[in-house]
Structure 1
Amino acid sequence: MGRHRRGQPREITVGELVAALQQFDPKLRVRLAVQPRLPQEHRIGPVAEADGLVWIGEAGHCGYAPDEAAESLGWR
């Protein structure tokens, strides 16, 4: 996951996402981090398929993501 060698964001597949999530405790809550320069956290909402893609809906802004999250994502 992440960026490929040219620095462009790369899309991941459902299988890659599932594999990445399987390394964590299944009881942990999930947040979506956005805006690398000023990381914010959002709740994950509904998941659906449309136009040959799986869409993960956003279910509300929670605040700013902690520095630890930004560092773990490679944003700092």
Structure 2
Amino acid sequence: MGRHRRGAKREVTVADLIDELRRFDPRMEVRLAVQPRMPQEHAVGTVVEADGMVWIADAGQRGYAPDEVGERLGWI
């Protein structure tokens, strides 16, 4: 799905997300990384369809993401 580039609009489809996730052990937990300047770790919540899109809910902050996460995402 590529690295984040400031100002670049990039839409991710369900197929894109499935393809990316296939690389990993299906038993692994999933987290969302948010806030590039101080990466936080958030749990994934409910997944629903509405308004012609799939929505993934944030299930709350779990702490701060390790430096390695920001590095691999190209944030630091």
TM-score normalised by length of structure 2:
0.90
Runs of 4+ displaced beyond 3 Å: 2-7
1:68 equivalent to 2:68? Answer: yes
Cα RMSD, aligned residues only: 1.9
Offset at 1:3? 5.3
Structure 2: 5+ residue runs without aligned partners? none
SS of the equivalent of 2:69 reads helix
Which residue does 1:53 correspond to in 2? 53
TM-score normalised by length of structure 1:
0.90
Q: How many residue pairs end up in the alignment?
A: 76
Question: 8 Å contact 1:31–1:43 — kept in the other structure?
Answer: yes
Q: Which has the higher contact order (CA 8 A, sep 6+)?
A: 2
